[in-house]
Amino acid sequence: MKHSVYLIASVAALALAGCKKSETPANDVVASSSAPADATMPAPAVAVSPDQAFADTAAASDAFEIQTSQLAAAKAQSAKVKNFAEAMIKAHTQSTAKLKTAAAAASPAITPQPQLSPMQQQTLQALTAQSGAAFDTAYKQAQAEAHQMTLDKLKAYSANGAQPSLKAFATEMVPVVTGHLNMAKGL
């Protein structure tokens, strides 16, 4: 008897699913945030200009530095590391403001999107799991690596960027980030 009820319910569910017809003609496009994406169809790639990509990378770099440094301000064992973290929070908050100003002055205006890269997210998660001297060591290494990558991006955009306001921002930030890198290596 149990199997018959399950069989009837299953058949009914399949029949209803099969009979459901779309009320939207095939060539109409319906945008719905509640509709699940078809897992077999990749999302269309959105073309991002090199200027937008630079602004996004710079914004993500600032966000990463601020978030990891906030962790360090709370978790670091060494006073030297805590002081460096406080300086990074202040400096990267200022850098974010300068980036937003430079991006707004671009033509057309750009809005930086500070989406952390998978590597940045992974590093942030790893730091969250650390404590004590192990945290200090991991934070120092993360800061040196992050500042080196940021410095490379700034130098490249400073030399080859198309947007004058973003190019000026990159050029202005090269010596600042060089100083941060040297500080991180000296921790």
Specify the pLDDT at position 30. Answer: 38
Asked if the structure places residue 157 within a domain, the reply is yes
Asked if the structure places residue 145 within a domain, the reply is yes
Instruction: State the residue range of the domain holding 111.
Output: 50-185
Asked if the structure places residue 92 within a domain, the reply is yes
Cα 126 off chain centre by: 16
Which CATH number is 60's domain given? 1.20.1260.10
Q: What is the pTM of this model?
A: 0.74
Specify the pLDDT at position 43. Answer: 55
Asked if the structure places residue 10 within a domain, the reply is no
Asked if the structure places residue 16 within a domain, the reply is no
Weakly modelled stretches of the chain, pLDDT under 70: 1-46
Asked if the structure places residue 4 within a domain, the reply is no
Asked if the structure places residue 150 within a domain, the reply is yes
Number of domains in the chain: 1
Specify the pLDDT at position 47. Answer: 78
Asked if the structure places residue 15 within a domain, the reply is no
